[in-house]
Amino acid sequence: MGPMQYLILGLLVALAVVTGGAYWQYQVAQGRLEEIATLKGNLSVATQEIKGLNDNIKALDQLRAVDQKLSNALSEKVNALTEDRDGAIKRLNSFRDRLDAVALKNPTAVGTRASSATIRVMREFYEASGGRASDGPGPVLPPAAPAPDKPVVPAK
């Protein structure tokens, strides 16, 4: 074998090595292109999911704002009802105190006054709860007259 043949053989080996390396690089590049395409698809899906989640977050923020407004309105109503309740309790205590005083001074008058006061208070409560006065509770029978030696003192 002559030097020319070695040279040709070396060139063929070099050409085969270069061709093999190029083919290997091509295969690697194809794999990377497939990975890039998969990642782009995943990115597209993730972007859509993020948009959907952002829309959900905006909707939840709007609901939270509405909930806050409703909560504030409810708190105001609860405070107003608490004040109304406290006023009613004061009025009831006032009625009770006046009834105690009347019962101590004149035990026989308690039945008549307690009956009219009870009817008035019941009608006021009935109207305050949304009923009409004409639909309210009917007349209450007066209690039996107390024994003359014992004054009537209502329970507290």
Q: What is the pLDDT of residues 59-98, one digit of tens each?
A: 999 999 999 999 999 999 999 999 999 999 999 888 888 8
Percent of the chain beyond pLDDT 70?
77
pLDDT reported for residue 140: 46
CA dist 108 and 102 (Å) reads 9
pLDDT reported for residue 134: 59
pLDDT reported for residue 78: 94
pLDDT reported for residue 141: 47
The model's pTM is 0.40
pLDDT reported for residue 112: 65
Q: Among positive and negative, which fits the CA dihedral 20, 26, 32, 37?
A: negative
Q: Between these two residues, 100 and 138, which has the higher pLDDT value?
A: 100
pLDDT reported for residue 96: 81
Task: Look up residue 19 and give its two tokens.
Answer: 């061709």
Q: What are phi and psi of 107, to 5 degrees?
A: -60, -30
Q: Are 94 and 121 in contact (CB under 8 A)?
A: no
Q: Between these two residues, 106 and 138, which has the higher pLDDT value?
A: 106
CA dist 110 and 101 (Å) reads 10
CA dist 61 and 98 (Å) reads 55
User: What value does the mean pLDDT take over residues 120-130?
Assistant: 77
